[in-house]
Amino acid sequence: MSPTQNITSSTITSGRQTITPTIPVKSEAFSGGWSGSELAFRGQGVTTSTLLAEPSSPEAQNFVILFEQADPVNPDDLSAIVYLHEGFGQISVHTATGALTNMSVQSSHPIMTALLSAGGRLILKPTPVESAVFRRISELMELAIEDEIEMSPSSFCDLWSFISARPAASVPNVFALDNGNFRAVWKNPEGERVALEFQGSQTVGFVIFTQARSLGKMMRIAGVQTVRQVPAHIAAADAGHLLTK
Amino acid sequence: MNGEPIPDPDHVLRHVKARFMQGEDIDGSGFRLRENETELSFNWMEYYRNRTPDEQLQLIRKTFPLKPNKKDKFVKLNVGSAKRHVNDEHPEKKTIDFIEDGDEQVPSHCLMTGEPDIDDLVADLLTDCILEKYPAIP
């Protein structure tokens, strides 16, 4: 077991509030899966900033995600994801994204159960899909700024929840829409696709193209559903294979 | 003449922002109505009928009214193929058409109309019809 190490975060986007955390993290926590670790802010280190801070609601609980980019070889890559429950008072900030983001989820969300049982903090090794989506979102945020588009924090949070719940999923292409929503698309060379526009507030606009092999015909459906219900639509359309490797 | 349909054998270009593409993949969001649009804007290549496709592209770039970013693209569709594909494959058999709408500044401008409307499925179906992609800025 290696001793505690310091991880500092870097800035992706500029925002309205700044903190300077240094985070001592026990390295065994990076072995994967849900796990807790020693973590404290010491008021030093690299600057992080806020952009996608989602407002809280009475039915929801808040936590903060710190996206760590501490890989010396690939500094743009995501090296760890730190989840902090706001209720535990470990950080006194409402700062967010790029490097730090606030997320608000229903109290029944599995992340909340895990966070509470781990004492309010979790450090996870990012899955390949999380790493790829994070990298892509960083690119999209820059393009959105160029186009003077404000991306939706709620859309980001729903996208992040969706892919985080599917660690074995294949990596989608992700796009930033004019309305500030993120759209994730899984396609194959046969023209089949699952396209999910995360519209915020747990709502998803979906477009699904799947080949009905028995009919030799492409079937197409579109609609709007809740984030919770949309996997059932994907399964019913026999399109689940597009989300798996 | 404005209001006339573009002939089926002709081609149109759509300006697609870099946010709507990843690698070689162009997303259907590049074919959605923008905030200030009621129909979808395209440029008609064969407006410059006696020019080569390269020259047509150059002339469209030269008169394009927006300021494209470095990574943006123009994507090319065949008018007849796009109309047939949407009508054949859309579950509600929606129809689209391409209508001349040029003016002095942008003589090649044309509009894609949709009946009864242009929805996300129409937009995604149009990505199946992309023939070529060109950098918006050479």
Residue with tokens 């008169």: B63
Check CB contact of B90 with chain A, cutoff 8 Å. Answer: yes
Question: Model pTM?
Answer: 0.80
CB contact under 8 A, B27 and A220: no
CB contact under 8 A, A146 and B119: no
Chain B contact set for A135 (CB, 8 A):
none
Q: What is the ipTM of this complex?
A: 0.93
Chain-centre distance of CA A41, in angstroms?
22
Beta bridge partners of A60: A106
B23 vs A89: CA distance, rounded Å: 42
CB contact under 8 A, A175 and B124: no
Q: What is the pLDDT of residues B70-112, one digit of tens each?
A: 999 999 999 999 999 999 999 999 999 999 999 999 999 999 9
A89 phi, psi to nearest 5 deg: 65, 25
Q: What is the pLDDT of residues A62-79, one digit of tens each?
A: 777 778 776 667 767 788
H/E element, A138: helix A128-146
Q: Which one of B16, B24, B27, B117 would you mutate to disrupt binding with A, by most A Cβ within 10 Å of its Cβ?
A: B27
What's the distance, Cα to Cα, between the start and end of chain A in Å? Answer: 33
Query: Tell me, what's the pLDDT at A90?
Result: 55
Beta bridge partners of B74: B15, B134
Residue B92 neighbours by CB under 8 Å, 6+ apart: none
Q: What is the pLDDT of residues B40-50, one digit of tens each?
A: 999 999 999 99
Q: With cut-offs at 50, 70 and 90, classify the pLDDT of residue A155.
A: very high
Residues composing chain A: 245
- Weakest-pLDDT range from A24-28, A164-168, A180-184, B85-89: A24-28
